[in-house]
Amino acid sequence: MTDTLDDLAVEGTTVGVRVDINSPIGDDGTLADDARLRAHVDTLSELLDRGGRVAVLAHQGRPGGDDFVSLESHADRLSELLGQPVDYVDVTFSGAAREIVDDLDDGDCVVLENTRFYSEEYMEFEPERAARTHLVEGLAPVLDAYVNDAFAAAHRSQPSLVGFPTVLPGYAGRVMESELDVLGSIEETPEPRVYVLGGAKVTDSIDVAWSVLEKGLADHVLTAGVVGNVFLIADGVDLGDASSDFIYDQGYWDEIDRAADLLDAYGEQVALPRDVAVERDGERHEIGVNALPPKNDEAAMDIGSSTLAYYERLLEDAGTVILNGPAGVFEEDAFARGTRQLYEAATDVETSIVGGGDTASALRRLGVEGFSHVSTGGGAALRMLTAEPLPAVTALENGPSQRQPADD
Ligand SMILES: Nc1ncnc2c1ncn2[C@@H]1O[C@H](COP(=O)(O)OP(=O)(O)O)[C@@H](O)[C@H]1O
Ligand SMILES: O=C(OP(=O)(O)O)[C@H](O)COP(=O)(O)O
């Protein structure tokens, strides 16, 4: 068990708070969606209201990407959400950063620069080694405690996630606490348990499918999105060049063999799409798998109506459904139907758990609500749903034994 904010004497304490506010960025290089910021408001407000001095640590994007930008606009938006000034500092662990953090007063909040602007933060380390990186060695001396609220990044073994709790007393923030609570007790959820794996992270999804089937966690795995297309090809369906080229270009061609192996081992529990939707003459057009490949070499952009009816029947009997990844290219209205209808059907299941950044954004866009739990994490949620440990959580659990007394 990790300690939580209930175990931390906050008043007058300088706390490094790792959040995950990695967000969509607009063409102007600033924040385009604040959902992940809003998720952390409870943790940050609580620390500030209890007299904490808060230094926010976070990453944005990956080196080389268009969304690899500074956290200045994130700090502006956090200031609005928290209803108090939030300073932004364009450094993370330099002497200037240390001075600013050291000068914080009770109730002050500062956002330090994108941790990934420093190369070590984009590497994975064992916690003890992560504790000896420039970031952790530079900043830890001016911090009294470390709070990790970045559940969505907890599957990464990077310095800001596993290094700080190795040298400072570490605590789970409220987002982390609630995610661990819900996703950590997956084995106790009602059966039968159905996993719906859609979206475009094919390797991760096949890993999850193997793991949950091997462990007996899943009664059925329903495939959709690019994942479903890979399984169709693995099953011998000719999807046509457009979909095949897409899978090849995304680097997922080798996954077809792994999908075929999974079908050999657990074929009866793995459900494949029965039809797909393509764009024909500017409109949605559905084709049964027996009639594939599409005659004009169109790409399979969504699951079709027969698949939806089949999957809805399987969901009717489920006690728990766990979903990750859109069923189709939901960004285009014509191909949002599969995602909308499948996820709507899932809300009728007794326990419904959803994970994934794009998935959450699809649900907001499509106005689908009513799940038992919508996780802030994609990869992290998937990893937890296979009952695998998350490095950042393990580091919190194993951290220094020294603990401060809680507030009175
Ligand atoms: N059939 C498909 N062909 C191409 N892209 C698809 C298809 N189905 C879903 N996608 C894409 O998958 C992306 C989201 O997948 P992913 O990143 O795995 O989700 P999450 O972030 O929720 O884990 C979306 O951009 C969506 O357009
Ligand atoms: O957005 C994130 O993960 P997700 O896409 O799995 O939800 C996290 O911020 C982790 O980012 P990373 O996958 O660049 O390490």
Ligand 2 neighbourhood includes 294 CB (under 6 angstroms): no
Residue 374 β-bridge partners? 354
Distance (Å) from CA 20 to ligand 2 centroid: 8
Ligand 1 neighbourhood includes 211 CB (under 6 angstroms): no
Radius of gyration in angstroms for the set of CA atoms belonging to the chain, rounded to a whole number: 22
Q: Give the residue numbers of the binding site for substrate.
A: 20-22, 36, 59-62, 116, 156
Ligand 2 neighbourhood includes 156 CB (under 6 angstroms): yes
Q: Determine the Cα–Cα distance for residues 108 and 103; give it in Å rounded to an integer.
A: 10
pTM: 0.86
Ligand 1 neighbourhood includes 329 CB (under 6 angstroms): yes
pLDDT of residue 400: 85
Q: Does the N-terminal peptide bond of residue 192 adopt cis geometry, omega within 30 degrees of 0?
A: yes
Q: Determine the Cα–Cα distance for residues 248 and 380; give it in Å rounded to an integer.
A: 25
Domains of the chain: 5-177 (3.40.50.1260), 184-385 (3.40.50.1260)
pLDDT along the chain (408 residues), means of 10: 95 98 95 93 98 98 95 98 98 98 98 98 96 97 98 97 97 97 91 96 93 95 98 98 96 97 98 98 96 94 98 98 96 97 98 90 92 92 85 95 45
Nearest atom in ligand 2 to the alpha carbon of residue 61 is: 14
Interval 348-380: pLDDT, tens:
999 999 998 789 889 989 999 999 999 999 889
Looking at all shown ligands, the one closest to residue 245's CA atom is: 1
Distance (Å) from CA 165 to ligand 2 centroid: 20
Instruction: With beta carbons less than 8 A apart as the criterion, state whether 125 and 162 touch.
Output: yes
Rounded to two decimals, the ipTM of the complex is 0.94
Q: Determine the Cα–Cα distance for residues 86 and 82; give it in Å rounded to an integer.
A: 8
pLDDT of residue 405: 41
Ligand 2 neighbourhood includes 378 CB (under 6 angstroms): yes
Q: Whose CA is nearest to atom 10 of ligand 2?
A: 153
User: Both tokens of residue 230?
Assistant: 């890979």
Q: Which of 226, 252, 371 to mutate to test the pocket of ligand 1 (most atoms within 8 A of CB)?
A: 226
Q: Give the residue numbers of the binding site for (2R)-3-phosphoglycerate.
A: 36, 116, 156
| 181: exposed, middle or buried (Cβ count in 10 Å: 0-12, 13-18, 19+) | exposed
pLDDT of residue 54: 98
Ligand 2 neighbourhood includes 377 CB (under 6 angstroms): yes
How would you label 346-360 residue by residue, b for 16+ Cβ within 10 Å and e otherwise? Answer: bbebebbbbbbbbbb
What angle is formed at CA 59 by the lines to CA 54 and CA 65, rounded to 5 degrees? 155
Nearest atom in ligand 2 to the alpha carbon of residue 381 is: 6
pLDDT of residue 402: 42
